[in-house]
Structure 1
Amino acid sequence: MKGQLINKRNLTLFYNDSCSCYVTNLTFQFSITHKMSQIKLLAQLSEKILLRQQTCRVGARCMSDWVPKEKETHTGQKWDANDYRLSRFVDRPKHVNPNFAINLIDEVPPKACVERVVCCDGGSGPTGHPKVYINLDKPGNHACGYCGLRFYRDKLHI
């Protein structure tokens, strides 16, 4: 026996012989405990009963009016409340690292150097970047283009 029912919220319930119920492409399994026809069983299932079932947590999401909280990323990306991409963050909140790299590198004080030209490789091994030479002839801080570390020429030690 196959067919479909439409409930109050205009969600179509499709059912088949194994008493599987499909609501808008989401599958819910029900077991028949009483001797009744499958049509009667599905007709008596209300929205509240569907939402109470442990296996129907996914269905509760499509009937929910909860909107995920949008966090702004380090690039300033923030989606509109009506954007479909927010549906990815219904189960869990969107994880945005609050420690942006640009803020962390600003906390590192500039390194005083005696040489006119310094070399920056961003650290040793796989954590580094290609070797860059930075000219410190002009006064002030000079930042590495890769990692953002700052260097300045300390003329007191010349």
Structure 2
Amino acid sequence: MSSITPERADDIPPPETEEVSKTRIACDGGEGALGHPRVWLSIDPASGYVDCGYCDKRYVLKKS
């Protein structure tokens, strides 16, 4: 059995990834009963992505 340590947390792929063209986006977990409160997320251009703290969806900034 393997355990997830903080060093290995980035090795786990996100459940869903979406490419976006803006650095500020909103996430509400999608449609249906599995949604969550709407949160606003900001993508740091240095990293190029942000993960939602509720649903772990990853938003990736499109390369220009």
TM-score (norm 2): 0.64
> Would you tell me which structure has more helix in proportion to its own residues?
1
Within the candidate set 25, 28, 33, 1:126 is matched to 33
SS at 1:112 equivalent: strand
Structure 1, gaps ≥5 residues long: 1-71, 76-104
Structure 2, gaps ≥5 residues long: 5-11
Compared with structure 1, are the counterparts of its residues 132 and 125 closer, same or farther at alpha carbon in structure 2 (3 Å cutoff)? Answer: same
Compared with structure 1, are the counterparts of its residues 107 and 132 closer, same or farther at alpha carbon in structure 2 (3 Å cutoff)? Answer: closer
Amino acid at match of 1:126: A
How much is the aligned-residue C-alpha RMSD, in angstroms? 2.6
> 2:43 matched to 1:136?
yes
SS at 1:111 equivalent: strand
* Larger RCO (CA under 8 A, 6+ residues apart): 2
Kindly name which structure, 1 or 2, has the bigger radius of gyration based on alpha carbons. 1
Matches within 5 A, 1:24-43: none
Q: How many residues align?
A: 55
TM-score (norm 1): 0.29
d(CA) in 2 for partners of 1:109 and 1:124? Answer: 14
Matches within 5 A, 1:9-28: none
d(CA) in 1 for partners of 2:16 and 2:36? Answer: 20
Structure 1 runs (4+) greater than 3 angstroms displaced:
none
d(CA) in 2 for partners of 1:109 and 1:123? Answer: 11
